[in-house]
Structure 1
């Protein structure tokens, strides 16, 4: 009979399997403990992590300040020369010389061109010879008249003979007058051979070259001269704005007018209002005005397009803020006003005129108060704010 095996009598294979099973169980226990520890740590960390603090919205501020605010009427205008003259010949003749350069600034009386005067000089000599002849005939006729008068008193000649001699004297006197007139006319025409500038100004491009035969009937002329100092600008404003100007137009002779370039970046000249047209254009509802500028810097050019600002009045010591700070609601205009605790409140305001990028505040703000310019879309009444940039200072 076989005897039962004791525990110590297990085989080596059974022992190895038992050890492997124990190690496998230990691995899973360790893995389970690791997962459990991770879960405990994860949930504990989430529960103890502090909540993120929400930062107040950042805003940009501006300071309400006082300044003199000029009120302008904007307009569009064209530069018009005070005088524009087309220089023409006053006699027919050959253009001999042109003595100016294109674009030259000339003075009144400067010689511009010369026309051939030789035909006129010959004509003058002829008329002077006729005058000498007619004067001699007149002198002889006067001597005969005196003799005929003595003979008529002696009843030696008839009344008809005396009357004929008197008529001959008057005829010769008329011939002398004609000769003197022809001589004077020729001398004037000789002066016209020397064409001079009638005004101070700037000459344009040459219209006729030397060697051409010019005539008084020519419509183009020889050259165009325009004045450059002073210069005027004609501009139009709406008829509704006329009432703002008329009270001053008849009492103040120095209403300020500024002329800017096409893009309104550069101030070209400063002048004054010269006159207002005497009627309104009913088709456009506008009225024309003329301003005069000294144009010493010569920044204005004839027919140039300019932007005009006509000074209406000046509001002294007005409270102004950037226009961007003004908000709008159904109840009216308001601003976000900064409190000392860095909160904002909605402050109702009454706005006045706008000048550039600033607006006059008639009611609701005073000097030194700070208002929000940028970042208003995130604000409500009483909201806390942070300052993104220092307040503007004047």
Structure 2
């Protein structure tokens, strides 16, 4: 059994040990906390520039005029005056149909006209004589009226003969098939010597206008107010056509202007069709070709521009990291316009330094170290000696 003296001694030793431990803790040298290493980032400067806004879609190249050449009379195809793929002008002779039967009919109609004119001349002389005799009652009134009727009949016959001649001339003109438009001849489907009929639906070939040319495309119905403003604008809206990509990585085929929009919105697709016209002297656009279309809808002047990777998506809004001295701060911004090459924002000032790479490790107040962009690769211009 422990005595009270032993308990007091044990308690005193515990107190002394606690005091010693506390004294050692407060007297020990303090360890320095290692400072966090700065986060390497790349930065860009906010710049101002004019930025065009575009509406994009997929379009089909269409000829302004494409005509299927068909015969207007039955007959044998006597001659083809053009070759496949040949360029022709409006009014050029394309083909000829055997016209011998029509020329014979025309000659017959002209001969009939001459006969009727001779008969009219004789009837007119007799009518004048009968009128002179009727003054002294030398001829009856009935005879005079009959002669007058004969003259009127022959005049009507002459008019009919003249109409027959005109009809034969029209038929004769159909034997010379001429181009109704300026364009390019397509693949021929009929050879010389074949008998052509008016009821043939296939036709001889097509003549398609290539320059100028049109592109038809569709845009969402939400774009209708913009399209209406562009069509009625003081200056034609610029339209660009690309192949194998868009305005960033595609091949530019041509630049034209918006010419019209359709008179109704498609109820099935919710889109509205529009058409643009292009000068096509280089023949880079071809009827039936599928192209990507960019329509300039607006020009943002003095816009604040940054690369797309600068802007970050937050829970409720967009933000950027702005560099201040050696640290960064988060700044909420509004995205005004964005495409694959740039972003127009609002909420910063021109000349601000923003982080363009390394945002994943950042938070407001983080210390950063700006890393310079790597130098661009220099192409090897060494010229190999010629053997």
Measured in 1, the distance between the counterparts of 2:123 and 2:335 equals 98
Are 1:322 and 2:304 matched, yes or no?
Answer: no
* TM-score (norm: length of structure 1): 0.79
Measured in 1, the distance between the counterparts of 2:338 and 2:258 equals 23
Are 1:335 and 2:320 matched, yes or no?
Answer: yes
Measured in 2, the distance between the counterparts of 1:178 and 1:328 equals 86
Measured in 2, the distance between the counterparts of 1:297 and 1:119 equals 45
Are 1:353 and 2:345 matched, yes or no?
Answer: no
Question: Conserved in 1, the CA contact under 8 Å of 2:227 and 2:261?
Answer: no
Measured in 2, the distance between the counterparts of 1:151 and 1:173 equals 23
> Cα deviations across residues 86-134 of structure 1 (Å, max 9, x unaligned)?
2222222111111112122211111111111222222222222222222
Partner SS state of residue 263, structure 2: coil
Measured in 2, the distance between the counterparts of 1:226 and 1:159 equals 68
Partner SS state of residue 289, structure 1: strand
Partner of 2:272 in structure 1?
287
CA shift, 1:353, in A, is 0.9
Partner of 1:80 in structure 2?
62
Q: Which has the higher helix share?
A: 1
CA shift, 1:136, in A, is 1.9
Question: Conserved in 2, the CA contact under 8 Å of 1:58 and 1:386?
Answer: yes
CA shift, 1:145, in A, is 2.1
Alignment counterpart, residue 363 of structure 2, candidates 380, 386, 391: 380
Partner of 1:368 in structure 2?
351
Are 1:154 and 2:131 matched, yes or no?
Answer: no
Measured in 2, the distance between the counterparts of 1:122 and 1:144 equals 34
Partner of 2:294 in structure 1?
309
Partner of 2:241 in structure 1?
259
CA shift, 1:60, in A, is 3.3
Measured in 2, the distance between the counterparts of 1:142 and 1:222 equals 52
Partner of 1:249 in structure 2?
231
Q: Which ranges in structure 2 are unaligned for 5 or more consecutive residues? A: 1-33, 377-387
Measured in 2, the distance between the counterparts of 1:251 and 1:66 equals 26
Question: Conserved in 1, the CA contact under 8 Å of 2:331 and 2:347?
Answer: no
Question: Conserved in 2, the CA contact under 8 Å of 1:62 and 1:392?
Answer: no
CA shift, 1:359, in A, is 0.8
Partner SS state of residue 349, structure 1: strand
* Structure whose alpha-carbon radius of gyration is higher: 1
Give 1:11-50 correspondences, 5 Å limit.
Answer: none
Q: Which ranges in structure 1 are unaligned for 5 or more consecutive residues? A: 1-51
> Cα deviations across residues 110-163 of structure 1 (Å, max 9, x unaligned)?
111111122222222222222222222222222222233333333233322222
Superposed CA RMSD in Å reads 2.5
Alignment counterpart, residue 205 of structure 1, candidates 187, 203, 217: 187
CA shift, 1:317, in A, is 1.5
Measured in 1, the distance between the counterparts of 2:130 and 2:331 equals 117
